[in-house]
Amino acid sequence: MGQLDGKVALVTGSAHSIGKSIAIGLARQGASLVLADKDVPAMKETEKTIAELGVQVEAVPTDVTEEKQIEALFEKTMQRFGKLDILVNNAGLFYSAPIDEMTTEGWDRLINTGLRGAFLCTRAAFRIMKKQGGGRIVNIGSISALRVRDRNAAYNTAKAGLVGLTHSTALDGRKYGINCGILHPGNVRQDRMPPAGTPPPPRPPNAPPIQGMGPDEMMTPDEIAASAVYMACQPANVNILEMVQLPTEQPFLGRG
């Protein structure tokens, strides 16, 4: 018996890395899954893995920056399962550049994916959960929301905005039994990252070195997923508002 037997969960950005591991972790606890991602072939592989666990799963190709696609995603969720108990806002991307060299297109693409997309999904889920009498939303943030890193203004801003969205959702949802929390990971070895030992991209001669990027300062997606699943498995009267998870060796306070 899993802790999420009978529950329905939707995970965005579920084709790779953290999102894939979270979706599989929720399925192992008995939840039925709705997968949302732009990378359809990879998402289908995740769908196959989850189906082999013996739970129901629906893969829905989705670009979270497109409002109509978000509406279709949640409509398909309700058509297939008739309810939604858990939403995990994981979709996001990364873009690094000094603020004076950052392009408007790069800024908009990151903000629209990581923050606007999370809002659109949260709004759709909130409407469903409000009618059904409760639910839970877990947002995947970053320690960059709490301790910013240079050359990452768009990413830092998107994740900081996600904190505000989390707190607002938790407050607005309180009287409806809708819980919302955010998990802030440190460095995670993504499946689409360069292999360990690959030299980092060049930095300006006067830029400080980036700390916390060594091979012993990376977590696995499964380690992050375990925490996200723990948050999702809390009883309805308990909410984990914020959680920070980082490698022991990674600098956080005073990081470079």
- Catalytic machinery residues: 155
The listed CATH number (3.30.70.20, 3.90.170.10, 3.40.50.720, 3.30.750.24) that belongs to domain 8-245: 3.40.50.720
Where along the chain do its domains lie? 8-245
CB of 35 closer than 8 Å to CB of 90: no
What single-letter amino acid sits at 136?
R
Residue by residue, pLDDT tens for the chain (256 residues) are 799 999 999 999 999 999 999 999 999 999 999 999 999 999 999 999 999 999 999 999 999 999 999 999 999 999 999 999 999 999 999 999 999 999 999 999 999 999 999 999 999 999 999 999 999 999 999 999 999 989 999 999 999 999 999 999 999 999 999 999 999 999 998 765 444 333 444 545 555 454 545 555 799 999 999 999 999 999 999 999 999 999 988 888 665 4
CB burial of residue 243 (10 Å; 0-12, 13-18, 19+) = middle
Q: Is 73 exposed, middle or buried (0-12, 13-18, 19+ CB in 10 A)?
A: buried
Sign of CA dihedral 108, 109, 114, 118: positive
